[in-house]
Structure formats: C-alpha cells, structure tokens
A = this chain, B = another copy of it.
Amino acid sequence: MTEHSSIKTIGVLTSGGDAPGMNAALRAVVRTAAYFGLDCFGIREGYNGLIQNDVLKMGPRSVKNIIHRGGTILKSARSEEFRTKAGRQKAYDNCKALGIDSLICIGGDGTFHGAKVFYEEFGIRVMGIPGTIDNDIFGTDQTIGYDTALNTAMEAIDKIRDTATSHNRVFFVEVMGRDAGFIALNSGIATGAIDILIPERKDSIEDLFATFEKAEKAGKTASIVVVAEGEELGNIYDIAKATKNGFPEFDIRVAVLGHIQRGGSPSCADRVLASRLGYGAIVGLMKGENAVMTGMISNKIAYTPIEEAIKKHNEIDKDLLKISEILAL
C-alpha cells in the first residue's frame, strides 16, 4: 500500500436517517485508521458539524462499547446549510484547518449527493458507506441497517399476527420504504403476508380483492397485507377503507410500524457488514479510491463511483415477487 503516505487525516460523519450499525461502521473506520497510523476526527450531526467545526479527535478507545448500540454516537442531521455554496465553503475551510484530507460519509442517497458536490467543488477526497435501512443504494448487496430493520418489522408483524389470528382479522401493516419495497417484500414473505404492496410494482385494488377472495376460498380466516410507505395505490388508511367497502364482513385494522424500524441493537449481519465496510473504506482511500462508495457485492468489497450509487437502483427480485404469491396461500 504505497499510497499510504498520500492520506493522513480522516474525517468521518453520519448523516441522513439513522440506521442500526452506523456505530459499528464508525468503530471500524476509527480503529482501522488508527491501525494504519492515520489521524481521525469524528464530526457531529452530519455536515452541520463540519460547517460549525463541531468535531472530536477519535482513537480506538473512543469507540469502545458501541458496536451493539443502535443510532449513532456522532448524531445525525439533515443540513440545510450544506446545500448552499457558502455552507460548503465553511465546511471546507474547517477541513483545511483541521488537516482533514479525506472525508468518510456514512448515510444514504442525500448524504452521498452532498459528498459528491463537496468533492467536485473542493477536490477533497470523499468515500461513502451505505448506512440506511431502506436498502435503496446501488453498489452493495445490502446497506447497513437493512437486515436489522427487516427483523424488527418481522417481529412486530409476528406479534400482530397473534392478535389477527385470535380475532380472525385483516391487518394492513405499513412498513418503511418511501421509494423502495425491499423491507415490505422481505418482511412480507417472512410473515406469510397474503399480499405485499410496493412502489416498484403497479398494484391495483382489483388484484388485492382477488387475493382476498382466493384467501377466503383457501380457508384463511386471518390475513396480513404488508404495505410499503411509498406504495402508490394510496395511503394505507384509504386502502383499508376501500377494502372495507368491498368486504363489509371483514374486521379490518391498520398498523403503522413507524420509527421503531430505525432503532434497536444491530443484527449480527449488520454489525459484520458495517465492520467490513468501515475497514474497506479506509483501505480504499489508502489505495487511492476517491468519490466512491464502499459496498459488498457477492461477499467481496467493491467500490462504486458515488455518482452511480445515487443514480442507479437495485431492482426488486422478480422471482421473489412470484414466490411471495405462491407461498402466501
């Protein structure tokens, strides 16, 4: 690693919606940096901390006892000021004053967009780490926090199923995913949902009704329908109301899982993924990677230009859609 000399001081921040495993990624960044003799600054509250110079020097002991904790000890925020040229100039001036030559940004789409602009304007090295429960980032098989969110959603739906079954009810359950149906599709399959409504597929109320009819014929007395937040058929309450009109005999309930999906202690898969990506980010920077995101593809570290990571999208597995239908009844 001859390029070692070219980077000396890392800045690391978490930005956008928090995700379980961000702390594990931060720990990996800080400890790998220390291992390779690099200095490291933690930046508080995303890009805001860079603008306000709210930073702390971090060493291996700064990140002890955090691998299992949800949220992010650096805190996260969406920064309005960083969207302005003036804000980014301040951020750059602070980087220069601190000697930060490379910036590691843990977050999602919005975070990466900020990093890209910052790099283009000021030439500072940037490296993305995908931390978001939505799994909607190209260039990695999974994002940090996604696996934990899946388990949280699934466990909540398991509980709801207990009461659905006891009362012969129909439950519409909304899970997170404004633009992507990954959480809905996978948690829906895992809980035996009879239908799963996601933004990637055109769903119609007729199809939903047809499914209810099939379910009744098959002898199912209780049903779960999982709905992604961003589903275009309409608001979950509207869908529930339309269903009540179509099937007045149904005892229907709506459950919106909400923010519990963002928190909690990260799963083993998320902790290991975060550890690998944090390590990969430092090693990538040392090898000269720049303006890329560290991801895992087929169980190997892969670097994808940030531009691509933002523009392209992981597609929902067609097979999985079919499987969800076949197995539901």
Binds B, one of A3-11, A62-70, A115-123, A232-240: A62-70
Q: How many copies does the complex hold?
A: 4
Q: Are A268 and B159 also in contact (CB < 8 A) when A192-B67, A327-B279 are? A: no
Question: In the complex, what distance in Å separates the CA atom of A326 from the CA atom of B129?
Answer: 19
Taking CB atoms, residues of chain B closer than 8 Å to A218 are: 60-61
* Chain B residues within 8 Å of A67, by CB: 190-192
CA gap between A154 and B319 in the complex, in Å: 31
Q: Which of A32-75 contact B (CB under 8 A)?
A: 32, 35, 45, 60-61, 64-65, 67-72, 75
- The interface bits of chain A over 65-89 (1 if a CB of B lies within 8 angstroms of the residue's CB, else 0) are 1011111100111000000000000
Determine whether the beta carbon of B276 is less than 8 Å from that of A161.
no
Contact (Cβ within 8 A) A263 B163:
yes
A201 part of interface (Cβ distance < 8 Å)? no
In which size bucket is the chain A interface? 35 or more
Given contacts A154-B271, A166-B75, A190-B268, contact A159 B323 (CB under 8 A): no
Residue of B nearest to A36 (CB): B326
Given contacts A18-B163, A268-B190, are A327 and B28 in contact (CB under 8 A)? yes
List of B residues within 8 angstroms of A208 by Cβ: none
- Whether A259 lies near B190 (C-beta < 8 A) is no
Q: Evaluate contact between A260 and B268: CB separation under 8 angstroms.
A: no
Q: Which residues of B contact A147 (CB under 8 A)?
A: 268-269
Nearest-neighbour CB distance to chain B for A186, whole angstroms, equals: 5
Complex CA distance for A172 and B325, rounded to whole angstroms: 37
Check A156/B77 contact, CB under 8 A, given A191-B68, A320-B276: no
Q: Does A245 contact B (CB under 8 A)?
A: no
Chain B residues with Cβ under 8 A from A61's Cβ? Answer: 218-219
Sampled A-B contacts (7; CB under 8 Å): A60-B218, A67-B191, A70-B159, A76-B167, A161-B263, A163-B259, A301-B319
Besides A253-B259, A299-B317, 14 more A-B contacts (Cβ < 8 Å) are A18-B163, A18-B167, A27-B327, A31-B326, A31-B327, A31-B329, A32-B327, A60-B218, A75-B168, A158-B263, A160-B259, A162-B263, A163-B263, A190-B271
